[in-house]
Amino acid sequence: DAGVTQSPTHLIKTRGQQVTLRCSPKSGHDTVSWYQQALGQGPQFIFQYYEEEERQRGNFPDRFSGHQFPNYSSELNVNALLLGDSALYLCASSRTTGGPANEKLFFGSGTQLSVL
Amino acid sequence: QKEVEQDPGPLSVPEGAIVSLNCTYSNSAFQYFMWYRQYSRKGPELLMYTYSSGNKEDGRFTAQVDKSSKYISLFIRDSQPSDSATYLCAMTGGSTLGRLYFGRGTQLTVWP
């Protein structure tokens, strides 16, 4: 049973460029969340997708956008990259069951983005 | 004030020691509490998941939640070198598992 898979594993971009990160959720999961983890910090919530809609959003600018496809996979897009966007981007999946007590969040290994 | 506070360490203990990791939080709406383990350059791995106050034990790991003090703990008994990692606390409230609020993580090293 494959877990959460992310691609690419590493990416180097320059300021002002745009980037797309991809995520395939764990089998049986229908909800995808994206997190940004700066070096030495805990993950920060970017947004969550469920039924192809953005269900929740954290405190990130509109430069960060996403999409969920009918097969539950997801993309994170970041426009006009800044040096401060350099971080590990984590995708996490879960199965929405109607109550957090029965839901668990599983993370992928992340995409390390470096902005030069 | 951050919603979740966690001492980043680093914490260094000998093999076999009991390790205590802690987080405090400010939002009384948090009801679901998690501990994740993160190895270098990997994604976080769920270790423990508890609801509301109380204790939960799983093998060498025990999670405690004290909602009255807004304080959670993770104890690791008989620590092993393979336990060396960063430990992240996370928590949330609400009707579905949406946004998790993480601490910054405590870096633990268990030396043989």
Closest to B88 measured CA to CA, from A61, A22, A112, A105: A105
Of A55, A104, A112, the CB nearest to B46: A104
**Structure confidence by residue, pLDDT tens digits, A36-70:** 999 999 999 999 999 999 999 999 999 999 999 99
Closest residue in B to A57 (Cα–Cα): B99
In chain A, what residues touch B98 (CB-CB under 8 Å)? 33, 48, 55-56
Residue carrying structure tokens 């948090």: B30
A62 CB contacts (<8 Å, ≥6 apart)? none
Predicted local distance difference test score (pLDDT) of residue A24 = 97
Is A25 touching B (CB cutoff 8 A)? Answer: no
- The alpha-carbon gap from B42 to the nearest alpha carbon of chain A, in Å, equals 5
Pairing of strands B19-25, A44-50: unpaired
> Which residues on neighbouring strands pair with residue B112, listed in sequence order?
none
* Residues lower than pLDDT 50 in chain B: none
In chain A, what residues touch B104 (CB-CB under 8 Å)? 40-42
Is A60 touching B (CB cutoff 8 A)? Answer: no
Is B63 touching A (CB cutoff 8 A)? Answer: no
**Structure confidence by residue, pLDDT tens digits, A4-32:** 999 999 999 999 999 999 999 999 999 99
Helical spans, DSSP H, in B1-112: none
Residue type, A87: A
Where does the pLDDT of residue A101 fall: very low under 50, low under 70, confident under 90, or very high at 90 and above?
A: low
